[in-house]
Amino acid sequence: MNFDFSDEQKLLQQTARDYLAAHSPLATCREILESDQPYAASLWKGAAEMGWQGAVIPEEFGGAGFGYLELAMIAYEVGRALAPIPFGPSVFVATEALLRHGSAAQKTAWLPKLANGSAIGTFALAEKPGQNAAESIAATVKDGKLSGTKLPVADGDVAKLAVVAAQESGATGLYLVDLDGPGVERKTLESFDPSRSQARIAFDGARCEKLAGADAAAIARLLDRAAVLTAFEQLGGADRALEITRAFIVGRYAFGKPIAAFQAIKHRMADLWCEIELARSNAYYAAWALANEDAELPVAACLARIAASEAFEKTTIEMIEFHGGVGYTWEYDCHLFYRRSKQLAGLLGTPKYWKNLLIERLRTAKAA
């Protein structure tokens, strides 16, 4: 029994951290936040050269052929750095969808481009507020043409390839769409976290290809996998937020002592640490289940997703509060974390959605 990452995996993680420290300090996130650029293109290129986008893509398709534990470590570091790149939707969802449901031709057509970063992928499910599950969507496919409007689509304005959830003759499925093709109209939307862009995409008879076997159940499994990896991204953000807060409260003096010496702050820092540790343990367990295609994955994915989302949000709320006035200024970095935690919680279904799923799955597990 060994419930920890291997030394090789930790080494890979350190490499990723060093690279991001050099190429994606928080200033990079802020730069995207404040500019009109949708994402940090050079960082995206660099990441591809590090093999991150293609981490789990087989070498035959130009990937690095790593495992999911390695990808989890990369996701964690991307989260720690608040890297302003369209990573999750492209790597955790679009790439995964192709790997699991793509035909040889589809893989050959897209995986190499996704691996080398020349194409960005995304995932389009929601069409209106409050939509988490694929079941209730309205977009339809007929004779290989997709129609319907997706709102919002993360990175939808910069992606080349969209994996779109739609209905075809009454059944839910996933479809590949080249967003530069005809019948696709995209509009960039103002984002709550402008370091990650959002768009509305209207499909009007856009050409699409079905992903084989990607039925409702398969979509759920796909979201489970993405949820685990996203949990690591959230965990990274929470860890970084807590570290920055810790450093601040130790150096900030009031009433003649560091504010970190006041129990009101100390004890809430301890609670945050617990919250994050629990999220870490749940995420590790889920990563193990993911890497081993274990039957526990559906439950583990819920645990990881819920714990990481809530730990990240709570940490960012306290981060601003403990910084006091300066924490509320644009100039300080607290709001970068405050925004990102909400952005990631909104992807792939909200914690509320996953909580209900968890109970459903625990019941099934008990019954079995």
Partner 1 sequence: MDFNDTADEAAFRAEARTWLAKNARPRTAMTPTISGEDLTLDVVKQSQAWQKKKAEAGWACITWPKEYGGRSATPIQNAIWGQEQSKFETPPDVFSIGIGMCGPTLLTHGTPEQKTRWIPKLLTGEEIWCQLFSEPSAGSDLAGLRSSAVKQGNDWIVNGQKIWTSGAQICEWGILVVRSDATVAKHAGLTFFVVNMHSPGIEIRPITQINRGQGFNEVFFSDVRIPDDQRISAVGNGWAVSITTLMNERMSIGSGMGVGAIEDLVGFVEKLEIDGEPAIEDRQVRERIAEYVVKARGLKYTSLRTLSALSQGKTPGPEASMSKLVGAVLQQHAASFAMELAGASSALLDDLAPERAAWQQRYLSLPGLRIAGGTDEVLRNIIAERVLGLPPDARADKGISFKDIPTGPPKS
Residue type, 229: L
Segment contacting partner 1 (CB under 8 A): 16-24, 125-133, 213-221, 231-239?
125-133
Which of 128/267 has CB closer to its own copies? 267
The reply on whether position 328 binds its own copies by CB under 8 A is: no
Partner that binds at residue 50, options its own copies, partner 1, none, CB closer than 5 to 8 Å by kind: none
Position among 36, 255, 293, 368 found at the interface with partner 1 (CB under 8 A): 255
Measured CA to CA, the distance from residue 352 to residue 366 in angstroms comes to 22
Length, in residues, of the chain: 368
Measured CA to CA, the distance from residue 158 to residue 28 in angstroms comes to 18
| Torsion angles phi and psi, residue 166, rounded to 5 | -155, 165
Please check whether residue 88 is in contact with residue 230, taking contact to mean a CB–CB distance below 8 angstroms: yes
Measured CA to CA, the distance from residue 203 to residue 80 in angstroms comes to 35
| Torsion angles phi and psi, residue 185, rounded to 5 | -120, 120
Smallest separation, CB 130 to its own copies (Å):
18
Environment class of 325 (CB within 10 Å of its CB; exposed 0-12, middle 13-18, buried 19+): exposed
Q: Which residues contact 285 (CB under 8 A, 6 or more apart)?
A: 3, 296, 300, 303, 304
Position among 65, 100, 192, 216 found at the interface with partner 1 (CB under 8 A): 192
Partner that binds at residue 313, options its own copies, partner 1, none, CB closer than 5 to 8 Å by kind: partner 1
Smallest separation, CB 121 to partner 1 (Å):
17
- Torsion angle (degrees, nearest 10) of CA 245, 229, 57, 90: -80
In the shown chain, the binding pattern of residues 257 to 296 toward its own copies, with x for contact by CB under 8 A and - for none, equals: -----xxx-xx-----------------------------
Partner that binds at residue 128, options its own copies, partner 1, none, CB closer than 5 to 8 Å by kind: partner 1
Which of 111/287 has CB closer to partner 1? 287
In the shown chain, the binding pattern of residues 224 to 253 toward partner 1, with x for contact by CB under 8 A and - for none, equals: ----------------------x--xxx-x
Which of 159/345 has CB closer to partner 1? 345
The reply on whether position 135 binds partner 1 by CB under 8 A is: yes
Please check whether residue 157 is in contact with residue 38, taking contact to mean a CB–CB distance below 8 angstroms: yes
The reply on whether position 35 binds partner 1 by CB under 8 A is: no
- What residues make contact with its own copies under the rule CB under 8 A? 262-264, 266-267
